[in-house]
Amino acid sequence: MTRRISKRYLKPRWTFLSQTSTGKLQISGWMATELAEKYSTPLYVMVESEIRNRLKRFKKAFPYSRLRPQYASKNNTNLEILKIVREEGFDLDASSVGEIILGLLADFEPSQITFTNLYKTEQDISFAATIGVMAITADSHEELEKLDLVGEKIDKKIKIFIRINPMLELGKYTTKGHQYGIPITFAKKAIDYAIESKHLDLVGFHFHGAYIHSPKVYSMAAKKLLKLASYCKERNVKIKYIDLGGGFPYEHNSKTEFTPEEMGKPFVKTFNRLIKKYELATPILIFEPGKFITANAGIGLVKIISKKIIGRKKIMVTDGSTYGFLPDCIIYNAYYDILPATKMGRRRVHDYTIAGCTCDSIDIIGRKRWLPKLEVGDLLAIMDCGAYSNVMASNFNTLKRAPMIMIKESGAIKKIRRRDRYSEMFAPELDVLKIGDPNELKKYYNLARVNINKLWGVIKKKKKKA
């Protein structure tokens, strides 16, 4: 027998959670204790239905005929998640060559990937241009020159977005101190350079959106970029893409700044009005949501391994960590809702500090958390941790990073990341005397044309022969 949403701990946004009559937490029908026992803790649990729902919500929120959203892969690069993103019709925003390769492994076409990192080596640029990504961002005038040089070396006209810092200010939000993009006061100089180059093909403008608290920011940025597109039109260059980046908030700590639905129609109305004002052809509009897609779809399961009562202070030590499991706690001072997965039916009686297991006094997952009386062996669920947690986790204290499972829409469980192994953790030091291959990216050049299942099949055959 199950009881849906308890007002004591569960919140409406967690539609995939329920609890039994005995107070045990269930995730999409699965007992949290059963998952922890089978896969051990700490453990990341991702819910496929929530990921797909958010991808669909985002696309539906913007009634724009040429919308082409991209998933910001940096927030969670798991291959299973990337495949879901592709199936739902999103392109991919990659911040490194590594993320491009993961995109190819997830069967994205190179033309569905943009390469938007702040810094790129000549080798990075050569790789991305050779396989044929949608575009590479030029983040500075120096990078424009580097892109130009690589284009000449490989005898190819490289498609680029120029990333612009529009120097925005809205309340406490400002981009004036950001390291991303060419300040708008120097934008025309950069545009002129790109237009005059024989090896650059300027196809779009990019804005780096991050931690945005008002949808007005996107409208302000759009106005600046479309005005630059008008300047390009005067120079007989058509801008095909306007990329307004990410930064879309997710629901956390009982709040959300705005939703895609609240932003969508008003933004599109403003965007269309600006296109008409500057007499532009309708550009492809790109957004790069990341944490909005995955954050609320992730749950972290940790077990209490020790308790410390120091005067009035009650500390519960878990087998999780802010270093190897929930790094946002110390990097961004992130707040996570914490649920007593084994005692959901009991009332809050104590104010706890929830600590991690590493040898560092700042390893604190949460402070002043009112929960029922907890004991060693109890299971806790850390909510809304599907973004940035596993990708920023480290091996501090030489601890293995956690595995990840996904509860599929069918109800089946799929393991999508195993726990680290000591052999691979030590490999960079054990291999230190071996000579690295400076051209290692060459082996990936043809990856875009190789089906990943066939690739694994070839690898297995080689192992058998060996």
Each domain of the chain, given as residue ranges in start order, spans: 2-46+296-417, 116-289
What is 280-297 written as a DSSP string?
A: ---PEEE----HHHHGGG
Residue entry with tokens 């070396």: 153
DSSP H or E segment with residue 462: helix 452-465
pLDDT score of 333: 85
Domains 2-46+296-417 and 116-289 share a fold: no
pTM for the predicted model, two decimal places: 0.90
Q: Which fold has domain 116-289?
A: TIM Barrel (3.20.20)
For the domain 2-46+296-417, what is the CATH superfamily, name and number? Answer: Lyase, Ornithine Decarboxylase; Chain A, domain 1 (2.40.37.10)
Cα–Cα distances (Å) from 174 to 137, 247, 314, in that order, read 21, 13, 40
pLDDT score of 35: 99
- Phi, psi of 276, deg, nearest 5: -65, -40
What is 359-372 written as a DSSP string?
A: S-TT-EEEEEEEES
pLDDT score of 1: 42
The helix/strand/coil state of 211 is coil
Cα–chain-centroid distance for residue 340?
Answer: 27
pLDDT score of 5: 43
CA-based torsion, 383, 289, 117, 252: positive or negative: negative
CA–CA separation, 172 and 120 (whole Å): 31
Question: What are the per-10-residue average pLDDT scores of the chain (466 residues)?
Answer: 59 94 96 98 99 98 98 98 98 97 96 95 96 97 98 98 87 74 95 98 94 91 97 98 95 82 98 98 98 98 96 95 93 92 94 96 95 97 97 95 98 97 84 60 58 51 57
- The amino acid at residue 119 is Y
**Beta carbons of 208 and 139 less than 8 angstroms apart:** no
Indicate the angle between helix axes 97-105 and 122-131, nearest 10 degrees: 30
